[in-house]
A and B are shown apart, each in its own frame.
Chain A
Amino acid sequence: MNYLPNILFAIVLIAGIGFFAKNVQKLFRNIKLGKDKEINDNKPQRWKNMAMIALGQSKMVKRPVSGFFHIIVYVGFVIINIEVLEIIIDGLFGTHRIGHQVLPESLYGFLIGTFEILATLVFIAVVIFWIRRNVIKLKRFMSAEMKGWPKNDGNFILYFEMVLMTLFLVMNATDSSFQAANSGNVISQFISPLFGDNLETLHIIERGAWWLHITGILVFLNYLYYSKHLHILLAFPNTYFGKLTPKGQFPNNDVVTKEVMLMMDPDADPYAAPAEDATDEPPAKFGASDVQDLSWLNLLNAYSCTECGRCTSECPANLTGKKLSPRKIMMDTRDRLEEVGKNIDANKGVFVDDGRQLLNDYITPEELWACTSCNACVEACPISIDPLNIIMEMRSYLVMEESAAPMELNNMMTNIENNGAPWPYNQMDRLNWKDE
């Protein structure tokens, strides 16, 4: 009977991690629904970007207030999680504070003391974040796309963190042997008196807090997949695979190059039979109307987005009241990808056309045409997400597959085709300015 807690703990742990692993698998599968895109150049620079931007939070601090508190939560989260190691060992082997037994008193005290201070700071930072969202109501958290689930999601994460930090401190405060050792209880010693001195009650509260703490962490881990909070993991690959070329450089479409080259080749025979090795594959679709037309990197971007809205708050279109919001582009992409993923799950691994797509059902042409391609959103993103690439891919689809550009743009493009200029002027007049 003595092993019951250990077995129970093992079951909870395996279930928590197993369920998470299953969702990670699903995450990979969904991201791979995107088109292939080879990214294996300049690895040193990519590692450096990941170290600076994700690990080093270099872009977070561009906004000092949120950047500062974010670093507290981030550092706190990473360091306090060392404690989870002890909890897991204790849980599996029925030990109590194994670290206390194997580590020198001063080191253990130092570690737990650090965790306690960080837990308190995280708690404060999280409360400030909550106030920014719910009391001050910062504009970027109040946009149209932030109603309903995204708003609740943001708050749930904050509540989760408040509860986890509280449980950690309560667990320490009610641990009478830990308090008696009086080393590392820098914060919990002040909370301890609140719980009285009945050893039995203290023990029950301590066990309760301990169990709730570890179960809470496992629940939180599994919450990630359903939440914008995935960024705590995906920010790393996302910054690694982020664009290295100048922001203004848009990729050239190779399929188009082949066609154009063929057209311009005076030796090409337009009536020639297809080459021997030509396959019967349907011609590639230009641009993107749904998530499968986007690259896997676009989809990774979508899962990495934590909906902070820095992109939208810098977007010239959004700032002047247009519908376009780069954050919404990312959220829509993820929502549609989830929908496609669920469709595949429900249909034994194959996607069955549901008559819906990213274009129109999620993102409207009005949003896409409002973009100035100014790269403000790309610059603003703290983890190298590129909403502009998705916008351009979708514009490409509208123009090349649907011929659905706004009329003025069609006129402009006709002019380029006919006169080599966006205006209806004769190419022979191109040098007239010289003598005017």
Chain B
Amino acid sequence: MSEQLIVPTMAEMMAEGKTPDILFWVGSAGSYDDRAKKITKAFVKILNKANVNFAVLGTEESATGDLAKRSGNEFLFQMQAIMNIEVLNGYEVKKIVTCDPHSFNCLKNEYPGLGGKYEVLHHTQFIKELINTKQLEIKDSDYKGKRITFHDPCYLGRANSEYEAPRDVLNTLNATLLEMKRSKSTALCCGAGGAQMFKEPEKGDKDINELRTEDALKTNPDIIATGCPYCMTMMSDGVKVKEKENEIKVMDVAELIASSQNL
């Protein structure tokens, strides 16, 4: 790594008497999954580049409980939620950004009823905001003219009706944005949602990520873009199954922005 990432924690900030403008919720995948960690770092590079006054919870962060809830374990979900809300409210957090649409959905929609009311943004929404307010300048990139297709994460798209932010951000790269036949509100799930990521699929004739990868391949892309660490795993595996990993990259929107600006 050429440059050290600046990642202050809430505890450090508080000790110094500072208040961050926004909390970056890293999420479990972003913290531990090797591929997702790269997305986390790419996003931090963007935050650093744009001089965003942010902090993370670090070791005080715990799973949102989203996975437990989708698995049917409401009890575990609420235990996690209430624990996290105590921490978040303790730090008087007002605004949260996360790279994980599942955390995004859970924090935004399911925490308020349990006492956790925050403004919650998906990182593509936040990056769009940074670009719009000129805090982040997008200069000419290597992605100019590249064929990029965006796979809508269910929990960003259908679940929260955000289809434009990731596309708006991708459009700043001057790439050719291609739409799959099933996209936006009719996008096909990557197969990871509802805790499927953590179990073997039921008996069927195909894996869902394979079918979704076929959708993507039909657009003949150079890059499949996503905005979710779980979609990332599923689509990367799908591309490998199709033996296309040498020609087609699967990248998060944040990674595309960061690498386009040589961050």
A: residues with CB less than 8 A from B are 245-250, 252-253, 256-257, 259-261, 263-264, 286-287, 314, 316-317, 319-324, 366, 369-376, 378-380, 392, 394-400, 405-406, 408-409, 411-413, 416-417, 420-423, 425, 427-434, 436
B: residues with CB less than 8 A from A are 5, 7, 9, 26, 28, 30-33, 37, 40-41, 44, 56, 58-59, 61-63, 65, 67-76, 78-80, 82-83, 105, 108-110, 113-114, 154-155, 158-161, 185-186, 188-189, 191-196, 198-208, 210-212
In the bound complex, do residue A405 and residue B74 qualify as a contact, i.e. CB atoms below 8 Å apart?
A: no
- Min CB gap B7→A, angstroms: 5
In the bound complex, do residue B154 and residue A374 qualify as a contact, i.e. CB atoms below 8 Å apart?
A: yes
Contacts known (A250-B69, A316-B211, A420-B80); A406 close to B9, Cβ less than 8 A: no
In the bound complex, do residue A373 and residue B70 qualify as a contact, i.e. CB atoms below 8 Å apart?
A: yes
Supply 8 A–B pairs (Cβ within 8 Å), ascending by A: A323-B203, A324-B202, A366-B203, A374-B193, A399-B71, A412-B199, A430-B26, A431-B31
Query: What number of A-B contacts does a CB cutoff of 8 Å give?
Result: 215
In the bound complex, do residue A372 and residue B82 qualify as a contact, i.e. CB atoms below 8 Å apart?
A: no
Instruction: Tell me, in angstroms, the Cα distance from A413 to B77 when the chains sit together.
Output: 10
In the bound complex, do residue A322 and residue B193 qualify as a contact, i.e. CB atoms below 8 Å apart?
A: no
- Min CB gap A205→B, angstroms: 50
Instruction: Tell me, in angstroms, the Cα distance from A260 to B69 when the chains sit together.
Output: 14
Closest chain A residue, CB of each to CB of B69: A250
* Residues from chain B with Cβ under 8 Å of A314 in the complex: 186, 188
Instruction: Tell me, in angstroms, the Cα distance from A360 to B192 when the chains sit together.
Output: 25
* Residues from chain A with Cβ under 8 Å of B188 in the complex: 314, 316, 319, 376
In the bound complex, do residue B7 and residue A323 qualify as a contact, i.e. CB atoms below 8 Å apart?
A: no
Most buried by A among B26, B188, B206: B188
Known: A320-B201, A369-B202, A370-B202. 5 other contacts (CB 8 A): A316-B189, A316-B191, A376-B188, A431-B9, A433-B26
Contacts known (A246-B161, A375-B159, A421-B31); A252 close to B110, Cβ less than 8 A: yes
In the bound complex, do residue B63 and residue A321 qualify as a contact, i.e. CB atoms below 8 Å apart?
A: no
* Residues from chain B with Cβ under 8 Å of A245 in the complex: 109
- Min CB gap B126→A, angstroms: 18
- Min CB gap A201→B, angstroms: 56
In the bound complex, do residue B72 and residue A261 qualify as a contact, i.e. CB atoms below 8 Å apart?
A: no
In the bound complex, do residue A376 and residue B109 qualify as a contact, i.e. CB atoms below 8 Å apart?
A: no
Contacts known (A248-B160, A320-B205, A400-B74); A260 close to B110, Cβ less than 8 A: no
In the bound complex, do residue B82 and residue A261 qualify as a contact, i.e. CB atoms below 8 Å apart?
A: yes
* Residues from chain A with Cβ under 8 Å of B196 in the complex: 372
In the bound complex, do residue B32 and residue A421 qualify as a contact, i.e. CB atoms below 8 Å apart?
A: yes
Instruction: Tell me, in angstroms, the Cα distance from A436 to B65 when the chains sit together.
Output: 26
